[in-house]
Structure 1
Amino acid sequence: MSDQEKDLLKVKLDQLQCHFTWAPQKENIDLDDLKQRLEDTIQTNVKSRGRSYNQLAFVNCLQGNCEEAIQNLQEAEKILKENHEDEFEKRIIITYGNRAWVNYHMGQLTEAQSYLDKLERICQQFPDASRYTAMIPEVYGEKGWALLKSAAEHYEEAKECFKKALEKDPDNIEWNFGFATVLYRLEDFSGTSESYKPIQSIKQFRRVLELDPDHAEAMVLLALKLQQRNQTEEALGLVERALQKSPDLPHVIRYAAKFYRYKRDVEKAVDLLKKGLEITPNSTFLHHQIGVCYRKKLIPLNRKPQSKRPSDPAFQQRIELIELCKYHFKKAFEPRPLTFIRAQLDYARICLLNEEYAEMEERYNNLLKLEGIRPENKQAIRLEAGLFELNQKKSESKAITHFLEGIKVNYNSTEKTKCRDNLKIIAERQLRRNGRDSKAYGVLGLMNQLDGKKREAIENFEKASELDPDNEEYLSALCELRLSIKADNDCPTEPKPKDE
């Protein structure tokens, strides 16, 4: 093929619906973690192997393992033929799209074109299809699952995909469960608007169980939602039934463990998580959850004075729990140092409980150097580092710096709210101590500015500037705010309609 023909082929490939055109790309995914999770799913969950092989092919191709990607897609095609013979052509659209892309990345352009030709023949049977793809429930559903396995900012799009799949196939168990799962995550996700209420996912999980009364994953996720609403008796029954139906399914085990941890039956939770590790020994998630369980046992013990006395049995128990927490949190983040930020922050918190301030500070310094990390992780790091400076090092100025950096990240999360709340408390405390503290007025001004409260921001920056007239930051903020207000006032408004 000539360069012109290759460019034309790329234009055709970009029109496809498959992992290469709608999954987040390499810079947005922890590829090693996703690969491990997909391999675990292939090993333990028969129902979703075709889907998992397709996404695994995408990951392998991004990592340069194109031969493995081809093998993954061959496995996916084989599974689809065996399990969906009557719907094979609907189900194979994504696999053929992925295959065309992998061949393209391998320089096998004729082979890539052959898969485009296959897709063109398949799509002719669907009235609303384009030349190379058809937006049918099977395509919408698979796209929803792929986005659901990626970053949280794609959950809204995943939800819309499942809704579209269900419009034409309302009784499909896969798409109903996908829709329920994405609602569950959106309800618990800190960056989501408050419009998501638990009743939405509860209703949807009940719909899944109407269609498939033995769906163990739906049972445990429904149980967690019911537990939040204090419907504990029904929730416990669902968890016990799910563990009877699918005792070796990792997702059932991990969600059941979460349920028992919330129920304060930490020993039961740890037993389940250890069982899960026997099935999927490389799961960083399970190590993290075991660490969280041991921390739950440690925190009340750490508050007891006798746990600090070497002669008391509680002292040894406390030491053992600290070591267990640190061991499992390390096991969680060491394979994923750039992405499993929560596990590193949890590790730092254990250092705090054990008064290991030097190790704690080193951990924060390492985290603050990371680049290209997700916005909610940036905010979480700034929040924890700020609290460390404020409470352990007694440095309000450094704490302010961290909290300010946290609220400057353009992302709504609970961590951002906590940074803001801490800033307000510090600034108001400083003004009570000294009503002429320019920095405190500057902090309040910046908070007003970020909140869109321009006039309040100007008022605070003016006070800051009066007390510190040479501060260019305050002068610049005032100039920007005044120009912004002038622009708002100068902006023509539409004339009001005359009364009839």
Structure 2
Amino acid sequence: MKLDQLQCHFAWAPQKENIDLDDMKQRLECIIELNLKDQDRSYNQLAFVNCLQGNCEEAIQNLQEAERILGENNEDKSGAGIIVTYGNRAWVNYHMGQLTEAQSYLDKLETVYHPFPNASQFSAMIPEVYGEKGWSLLSSTAEYYEEAKECFKKALEEDPDNIEWNFGFATALVRLEDCSSNPENSEFSEYMNQLRRVLELDPGHAEAKVLLALKLQDLNQKEEAFTLVEQALQKSPDLPFVIRYVAKFLRREGAVDKSIELLKKALEITPNCSFLHHQTGLCYKNKLLQLIKNPRCRNLRDPVFQQKIALINQCKQHFGEASILKQSFIIAKLAFAEICAMNEEYREAKEIYKTLLELENITLENKQEKYFGAGKFEFFHKNSESNAIKYYLEGIKIQHNSRAREWCRTTLVKMAEKQRYRNLRDTKVFSSWGIMHTLDGDKRAAIECFEKIFEFELGNED
């Protein structure tokens, strides 16, 4: 089928069962509203989303807008932008049953491909197309970040000094490291070098500055990190993508009030951004965790108690808003449940965990996150060590390298060590360790643990 050969969102992007279409649509509409560069890219992706949702007429309008922008910026209508737009248009017309119109765009593509020596009849993998594909994959789920990275690498082979593709490559590396359970902390890690490469090509690149600042913060290189944050905010004081990272940096530095101030500013610009609401909720949670250390917060008549209630409500408002705006935002839902538990709203928290535990069609990392959250709830609020162990083990069993899995493992090890100190013959301890060693592939250590259990339970028929 000719359409399958096209280089466009319908050929590369994950389909609707793999992505949250409502969330992606909302994000794209926010980007378009901000009137940033590369609007044609956003309109193309929005057309793809609208078509998957059955809004084909809207998709046609999106593609007409993309073509208009490309015509204004590129008079000869050549290059990746028009290749992707024409390909998407052919697909949308096909979905609408307009086969003659779809064929007309295939004919236009043949004309566009003609100058490229290595192009097939309907396809040309030029650097610009690799770059467009990379950005498309980055806007979907984490399982496609590795492929996005490879796309940017391919594009950079032809044009190593392209700022946009260098930043795309850096962004893919940042996302991959964020998903890893063992992030690279070396000063010379690949993505730090890549961010520095972007700044070498474009010293004023605000997003690259603040992403580099967050990494330097991890490495405790505060002086350079603060300088980069200040420069980024001066360069792009009204860009939500920059503000959110600056706010995250400040929150981690303890400047929570300043972080909230910036996030409120960003929310005025993009009020429907689930990420900004989640970050704001995390700031109020930080303030709440500090406040509850004060014994006065337990006295109903004390003003500190009222402050606690106000902070709880702020947390619930923003975590709740993030969950509503993005139905697949599992971390925001877990954060909401955690606040309910802290406020002794155990029934509400239990219901949220129950709902989340029943979800299957979510990412592996989100599954690990929900098991870790449920384990904490059982251990700290329901006093059920056995249930906590069960959930932590479920998180570890999922063979996916993530921080959530490492948290499950670390917590379980600490619990086992503590239990072993209390009772050297506790079979639950050796059972947990045995399972962990099995999952880690250390069969000898696993066998030793299970042999201990048999030794302790030799007279137990069960």
Structure 2 equivalent of residue 354 of structure 1: 343
Pick the aligned partner of 1:186 from 154, 158, 176.
176
Structure 2 equivalent of residue 253 of structure 1: 243
Structure 2 equivalent of residue 374 of structure 1: 363
Secondary structure of the corresponding residue to residue 78 of structure 2 = helix
Q: Give yes or no for contact 1:176–1:207 (8 Å, CA) kept in 2.
A: yes
Structure 2 equivalent of residue 343 of structure 1: 332
1:40 is displaced (CA, Å) by 0.4
Q: Give yes or no for contact 2:181–2:404 (8 Å, CA) kept in 1.
A: no
Residue 384 (1) aligns with residue 379 (2): no
Q: Give yes or no for contact 2:181–2:406 (8 Å, CA) kept in 1.
A: no
Structure 1 CA distance for aligned equivalents of residues 359 and 127 of structure 2: 40
1:364 is displaced (CA, Å) by 1.1
Q: CA offsets, 1:308-367, max 9 Å, x none?
A: 223433222111111111111111102333x11111111122223323323222221121
Pick the aligned partner of 1:150 from 140, 149, 163.
140
Pick the aligned partner of 1:237 from 227, 233, 245.
227
Q: Give yes or no for contact 2:182–2:403 (8 Å, CA) kept in 1.
A: no
Structure 1 CA distance for aligned equivalents of residues 137 and 151 of structure 2: 9
Pick the aligned partner of 2:323 from 317, 333, 336.
333
Structure 2 CA distance for aligned equivalents of residues 424 and 206 of structure 1: 38
Structure 1 equivalent of residue 437 of structure 2: 448
Structure 2 CA distance for aligned equivalents of residues 257 and 198 of structure 1: 25
Secondary structure of the corresponding residue to residue 38 of structure 2 = helix
Q: Give yes or no for contact 2:25–2:49 (8 Å, CA) kept in 1.
A: yes
Pair 210,82 (structure 1): closer, same or farther in 2 beyond 3 Å: farther
Pair 213,348 (structure 1): closer, same or farther in 2 beyond 3 Å: same
Pair 254,455 (structure 1): closer, same or farther in 2 beyond 3 Å: same
Greater shift, 258-267 or 94-103, is seen at 258-267
Structure 2 equivalent of residue 405 of structure 1: 394
Q: Give yes or no for contact 1:198–1:225 (8 Å, CA) kept in 2.
A: no
Structure 1 CA distance for aligned equivalents of residues 407 and 144 of structure 2: 24
Structure 2 equivalent of residue 222 of structure 1: 212
1:61 is displaced (CA, Å) by 0.8
Structure 1 equivalent of residue 308 of structure 2: 318
Structure 2 equivalent of residue 268 of structure 1: 258
Q: CA offsets, 1:240-274, max 9 Å, x none?
A: 33333322221122122122222222122111111
1:221 is displaced (CA, Å) by 2.1
1:458 is displaced (CA, Å) by 3.8
Which segments of 5 or more consecutive residues in structure 2 lack a partner in the other structure? none
Structure 1 equivalent of residue 111 of structure 2: 121
Structure 2 CA distance for aligned equivalents of residues 252 and 429 of structure 1: 43
Q: Give yes or no for contact 1:187–1:197 (8 Å, CA) kept in 2.
A: no
Q: Give yes or no for contact 2:240–2:269 (8 Å, CA) kept in 1.
A: yes
Q: Structure 1 length as normaliser, TM-score?
A: 0.85
The total of aligned residue pairs comes to 460
| Structure of greater relative contact order (alpha carbons < 8 Å, 6+ residues apart) | 2
Q: Give yes or no for contact 1:224–1:235 (8 Å, CA) kept in 2.
A: yes
Which segments of 5 or more consecutive residues in structure 1 lack a partner in the other structure? 1-10, 472-500
| Equivalent residue letter for 2:292 | N
Structure 1 equivalent of residue 406 of structure 2: 417
Structure 1 CA distance for aligned equivalents of residues 297 and 446 of structure 2: 49
1:194 is displaced (CA, Å) by 4.5
Q: CA offsets, 1:461-498, max 9 Å, x none?
A: 45546738877xxxxxxxxxxxxxxxxxxxxxxxxxxx
Pair 451,227 (structure 1): closer, same or farther in 2 beyond 3 Å: closer
Structure 1 CA distance for aligned equivalents of residues 404 and 45 of structure 2: 32
Residue 18 (1) aligns with residue 8 (2): yes
1:136 is displaced (CA, Å) by 0.8
Structure 2 equivalent of residue 37 of structure 1: 27
Q: Structure 2 length as normaliser, TM-score?
A: 0.92
Secondary structure of the corresponding residue to residue 121 of structure 2 = coil
State the Cα RMSD in Å: 2.4
Structure 2 CA distance for aligned equivalents of residues 248 and 431 of structure 1: 54
Structure 2 equivalent of residue 493 of structure 1: none
Q: Give yes or no for contact 2:41–2:81 (8 Å, CA) kept in 1.
A: no
Structure 2 equivalent of residue 480 of structure 1: none
Structure 1 CA distance for aligned equivalents of residues 386 and 252 of structure 2: 37
1:135 is displaced (CA, Å) by 0.9
Q: CA offsets, 1:256-297, max 9 Å, x none?
A: 212222222212211111111111111111111111111111
Identity %: 63
Residue 201 (1) aligns with residue 201 (2): no
Q: CA offsets, 1:381-409, max 9 Å, x none?
A: 11121122223222222122212211121
Residue 70 (1) aligns with residue 79 (2): no
| Equivalent residue letter for 2:90 | A
1:88 is displaced (CA, Å) by 2.6
Pair 137,196 (structure 1): closer, same or farther in 2 beyond 3 Å: farther
Secondary structure of the corresponding residue to residue 5 of structure 2 = coil
| Equivalent residue letter for 1:282 | N
